[in-house]
């Protein structure tokens, strides 16, 4: 459960959060959702795992449904659609498999526009020494913990504990924390749902990636309203940064209703995300 202040480097949005259960449902209150859009043109930003697809035991088991792909393709003909994932960019691009979308991987660190433009920080990401060292240390120290899964992505390292027995989850967390401290300040630590992630220690996140895309494509005008769908801690950066000029939709199941969020609306699962996307498809 995410509680107020439970972020290591992200204290900027500890104010103004609400429990998920206090938010209106984007489906039951779709009129309200539509009113927020008003006459503006939506720009859609979507996380992948847990948002467009249900959470699965291992990352390689995630598949995008035919129905989801169809809705996304139809929406991309009418507005900007971007997928902002924690996965590697090329991986999420292959999983979605649609050519006219914008893809950002590694929680927005790895973003490229169709014309090849990238954020200024991108060249700095080539220095991977700390992450390489952290990855080999993690492999040694976690080798004896069954179920722990280390995923070395292009710009980050994810340590999944979804398949670790409950009595060992805290050990995994404390090992990741140790390695983070050993490599800090070159890396920062993000905590997600059953995943700890070491990232380059830069002032960059999913929210900044969204704002960069909007600005670089000249979509940061009053006629455009960014809408972000996401289920995890890293998506809170986007909810927070879009707070005053966009809409955040948090995907949170029944057990996650007390979690604090900066989003404006809630849905329960990826099926409900599809329902909202279909409603959007019909109304503009
Ligand atoms: Mg997610």
- Burial class of residue 203, CB neighbours in 10 A (0-12, 13-18, 19+): exposed
Residues labelled catalytic: 47
37 alpha carbon – ligand 1 mean position (Å): 24
pLDDT string in tens for the chain (284-residue length): 333 333 333 334 446 799 999 999 999 999 999 999 988 999 999 999 999 999 988 888 999 999 999 999 999 999 999 999 999 999 999 999 999 999 999 999 999 999 999 998 887 787 789 999 999 999 999 999 999 999 999 899 999 999 999 999 999 999 999 999 999 999 999 998 889 999 999 999 999 999 999 999 999 888 999 999 999 989 999 999 999 889 999 999 999 999 999 999 999 999 999 999 999 999 87
Q: Under CATH, to which class is 11-30+40-119+204-283 assigned? A: alpha beta
38 alpha carbon – ligand 1 mean position (Å): 28
The CATH code that applies to domain 124-200 is: 3.30.70.1020
Pairing between strand 157-160 and 149-152?
antiparallel
Distance separating alpha carbons of residues 237 and 257, to the nearest angstrom: 19
27 alpha carbon – ligand 1 mean position (Å): 20
Distance separating alpha carbons of residues 156 and 276, to the nearest angstrom: 31
Do the domains 124-200 and 11-30+40-119+204-283 match in fold? Answer: no
Q: Report domain extents, the chain.
A: 11-30+40-119+204-283, 124-200
Please say whether the beta carbons of 241 and 10 come within 8 A. Answer: no
Distance separating alpha carbons of residues 74 and 86, to the nearest angstrom: 24
16 alpha carbon – ligand 1 mean position (Å): 22
107 alpha carbon – ligand 1 mean position (Å): 10
Closest Cα to residue 12, out of 241, 245, 252, 248? Answer: 241
- Helix 166-183, helix 129-142: angle, nearest 10: 150
């Amino acid at each position: 459960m995410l509680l107020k202040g439970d972020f290591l480097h992200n204290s900027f949005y500890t104010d103004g959060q609400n429990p998920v259960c206090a938010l209106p449902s984007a489906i039951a209150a779709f009129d309200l959702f539509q009113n927020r859009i008003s006459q503006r043109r939506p720009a859609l930003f979507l996380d992948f795992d847990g948002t467009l697809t249900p959470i699965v035991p291992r990352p390689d088991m995630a598949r995008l449904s035919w129905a989801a792909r169809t809705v996304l393709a139809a929406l991309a003909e009418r507005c900007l659609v971007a997928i902002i994932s924690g996965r590697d960019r090329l991986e999420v691009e292959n999983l979605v498999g649609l050519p006219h979308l914008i893809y950002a991987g590694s929680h927005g660190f790895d973003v490229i526009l169709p014309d090849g433009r990238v954020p200024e920080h991108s060249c700095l990401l080539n220095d991977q020494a700390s992450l390489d060292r952290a990855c080999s240390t993690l492999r040694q120290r976690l080798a004896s913990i069954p179920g722990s899964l280390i995923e070395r992505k292009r710009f980050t390292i994810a340590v999944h504990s979804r398949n670790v027995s409950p009595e060992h989850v805290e050990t995994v967390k404390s090992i990741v924390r140790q390695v983070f401290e050993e490599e800090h300040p070159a890396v920062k630590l993000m905590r997600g749902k059953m995943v700890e992630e070491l990232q380059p220690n830069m002032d960059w996140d999913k929210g900044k990636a969204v704002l960069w895309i909007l600005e670089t494509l000249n979509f940061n005008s009053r006629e455009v309203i960014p809408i972000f769908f996401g289920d995890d801690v890293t998506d809170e950066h986007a909810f927070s940064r879009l707070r005053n000029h966009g809409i955040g939709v948090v995907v949170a199941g029944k057990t996650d209703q007390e979690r604090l969020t900066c989003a404006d609306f809630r849905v329960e699962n990826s099926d409900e995300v599809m329902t909202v996307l279909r409603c959007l498809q019909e109304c503009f």
